[in-house]
Amino acid sequence: MVEAQHHISTMKLTDNAAEQVLLEQLIESTKPAIPPECSHLDFLLFTPFRYAPYPRGSRLRRAGFTSGIFYGSEAPETALAEACFYRLLFFHESPDTPWPGNAGEYTAFACEYATGRAIDLTQPPFTDRRATWTHPTDYAQCQHLADLAREERIEVIRYESVRDPVHRANIALLTCKAFASTEPVARLSWRILLGGNGARARCEMPHQILEFDRAAFSADPRIAAMRWHR
């Protein structure tokens, strides 16, 4: 799930379509080179492998000059939960920032992958350490596991989503070689509204509404300490 603003933002700065194309080409020229093994992929797929240094660690990727990871979810609802959690986390870390007045627009997209080298942390023997893999804030052991997986040429890690209220699975692609399609195979448009009551997400086609109230992510101490009134 990504913010759906990459074309709208440059549209506002230009007078016609030709100028917009030129501006986007200039912006593209300032970005890091696309890794050769990812150059055949759509930008939505290769982007996670493009940028370094990684500003702060995530569950399976260390901060710094580390190899990229494409994070996805098996269900759109899980991707929504992950997206809403991290948007709310931003506001926790910026307590003087007012809630947005309007809903943000996002694109949920699906892609295909295939690999013969994967591990599943939701299955034995990895389930013996479930508490480690699902810790809300300490990612150290997960990152260490990902390092070991790369050494063994593992390409995909399936693991339990900590943010999804019903804990469906996430998928981490450790290499862009695991993509079986060169571009997304489906897209859905969502709007997410954040505020003092939590997060509300709406999709028009097919119609669906998801809500994450103040308690939805309270297992994470950072969200539990959120200053909701601002």
pLDDT surpasses 90 at 213 = yes
Give the domain ranges of the chain.
Answer: 1-30, 31-224
The pLDDT of 102-121, averaged and rounded, is 96
pLDDT confidence of 92, banded at 50, 70, 90?
very high
The mean of the pLDDT values for the chain is 95
Say what the pLDDT of residue 8 is. 73
Query: Would you say the C-alpha torsion 112, 117, 121, 123 has a positive or negative sign?
Result: positive
Cα separation, 197 vs 30, in Å, equals: 39
Cβ proximity of 219 and 81 under 8 Å: no
The pLDDT of 198-213, averaged and rounded, is 95
Q: Which of 12, 154, 181, 3 is nearest to 90 (CA)?
A: 3
Here the tokens at position 35 are: 């890794």
Which CA distances in Å does 140 have to 47, 55, 78?
A: 24, 16, 23
pLDDT tens-digit series, residues 7-42: 677 888 899 999 999 998 999 899 999 999 999 999
Beta-sheet pairing, 208-213 with 156-160: unpaired
Query: For residue 56, what are the contacts with CB-CB under 8 A and spacing of at least 6?
Result: 63
Say what the pLDDT of residue 10 is. 84
| Residue type (1 letter), 90 | F
Say what the pLDDT of residue 9 is. 77
Grouping H, G, I as helix, E, B as strand and the rest as coil, residue 23 is helix
Say what the pLDDT of residue 6 is. 61
The pLDDT of 183-207, averaged and rounded, is 95
CA angle 184, 189, 193 (to 5 degrees): 135
Cα separation, 79 vs 75, in Å, equals: 7
Cα separation, 134 vs 158, in Å, equals: 12
In the block, residue with structure tokens 């859905």: 188
Say what the pLDDT of residue 5 is. 65
pLDDT surpasses 90 at 104 = yes
Q: Is the pTM of this model over 0.85?
A: yes
pLDDT surpasses 70 at 160 = yes
